Chains A and B, each alone.
Chain A
Amino acid sequence: QVQLKETGPDLVQLTQTLSITCTVSGFSLTTYNVHWVRQPPGKGLEWMGAMWNGGGTDYNSAFKSRLSISRDTSKSQVFLKMNSLQTEDTAKYFCAAHRYNRDYWGQGVMVTVSS
């Protein structure tokens, strides 16, 4: 059974760094691509970046300078780290795994950036 679960802080201070962990089960990170997607309250979905199954990464150019995605395959975890947080970064952050038509999402973690 494929599962993804995001864990991270509820609240982050302005200009600080956000760290979220996506822990997966039921598949290997070496066979699925894992994406990070965020959704501000009441707004649409925004693709942030991906950890490809081969270990490479790709980023939305809107975030490239402050976003980092990494993984630990032995722990089945993918990590998102984003610095210099602003109030507009308040959003629900999802990780999602994709391979061909196999598409699985975590429940998301809501992060509020506070001054």
Chain B
Amino acid sequence: DIQMTQSPSFLSASVGDRVTINCKASQNINKYLNWYQQKLGEAPKLLIYNTNNLQTGIPSRFSGSGSGTDYTLTISSLQPEDVATYFCLQHSSRRTFGGGTKLELK
């Protein structure tokens, strides 16, 4: 099975900061990489699909990039409502989630 290593596991940033979260796959996943946001007590919400496609209704401050085994989620200007845990998901072969990044405000 494909393994996904997500980093960092915890991130503290200020409003307006540029934030990046990374996921590394154990093998080439051909851009089949989604990003999810999960707020406390809620189901995950799809932000980005297939590496760099913004889901409908998601603010443009969220973006994704990457290829091969390395992928990045970027929040260009952190807002208070972005406090959440973020997960990557590979869907190249079955499915595997990254371990998650808990994002808090400094």
A96 to chain B, nearest CB (A): 8
Give the B-binding residues of A (Cβ under 8 A).
35, 37, 44-47, 50, 58, 60-62, 94, 96, 101, 103, 105-108
State the interface size on chain B (CB cutoff 8 A): 22
Does B53 belong to the interface (CB within 8 Å)?
Answer: yes
Docked-complex contact A45 and B94, CB < 8 angstroms: no
Cβ–Cβ < 8 Å partners of B1 in chain A? 60-62
Q: How many A-B residue pairs have CB under 8 A?
A: 46
* Residue in B38, B44, B49, B100 whose beta carbon sits within 8 Å of that of A101 in the complex: B49
* Residue in B43, B49, B53, B97 whose beta carbon sits within 8 Å of that of A46 in the complex: B97
- B 81-106 contacts with A by CB, 8 A: 87, 89, 94-100
Docked-complex contact B94 and A47, CB < 8 angstroms: yes
Does B19 belong to the interface (CB within 8 Å)?
Answer: no
Docked-complex contact B94 and A94, CB < 8 angstroms: no
Bound CA span A94–B56, Å: 22
Docked-complex contact A44 and B43, CB < 8 angstroms: no
* A46, A50, A103: most-surrounded residue (chain B CB, <10 A): A103
Docked-complex contact A108 and B46, CB < 8 angstroms: no
Bound CA span A37–B89, Å: 12
Bound CA span A45–B100, Å: 8
Does B69 belong to the interface (CB within 8 Å)?
Answer: no
* Residue in A47, A94, A103, A106 whose beta carbon sits within 8 Å of that of B96 in the complex: A47
